[in-house]
A = this chain, B = another copy of it.
């Protein structure tokens, strides 16, 4: 051995100037947008953005019902987080839990009529916010570029460990 054997500390490849600029812009844009949508929905619909997304998922599901794990996968959140979220939404009367007939461990989250109504009330304002912040500011080409970039990112991040062992 000559002192540079295991080399766990080889000088890392830092970000180039272009990459640093892109990263900074990315962080600013994403935090500002998430905050913006959170505030908009908290004000107009009484829930954070993530919870709204859960209602949307449920509204598109077959009988407005979805298994907890499937819902968590689609929303990219942990089952634990979903449990707490659904508990809160259930308290509001927007979602109800039901036992899954085919699997006694399972639960179905069911979007109630009241929940559907809240969603329909909130949707226009939310779409307007998303448009105003994103789609009305980008060219069609940019929208396509963004979609492709995000697809690549998400592809590389599909969790394979810990609490999110999906798509193994």
Contact = CB atoms under 8 A, between A and B. Distances in A.
Contact of A33 (B33, B35, B128, B157): B157
Nearest to A26: B150
A87 interface: no
Interface string A124-161: 10011011111101101011111111111110111100
A103 interface: no
Contacts of A156: 132-133, 137
B39 A127 contact: no
A79 interface: no
Contacts of A14: 127
A interface bracket (residues with beta carbon within 8 Å of B): 35 or more
A143 B29 contact: no
Contacts of A64: none
A-B pairs, top 3 by smallest CB distance, nearest first, are A25-B150, A22-B147, A29-B150
Interface of A: 9, 12-15, 18-19, 21-23, 25-36, 39, 53, 76-77, 123-124, 127-128, 130-135, 137-138, 140, 142-154, 156-159, 162
22 contacts: A12-B128, A14-B127, A15-B131, A18-B143, A18-B147, A25-B150, A25-B151, A25-B154, A26-B147, A29-B150, A29-B151, A30-B30, A30-B150, A33-B157, A36-B157, A39-B162, A133-B153, A138-B152, A145-B145, A145-B146, A145-B149, A146-B149
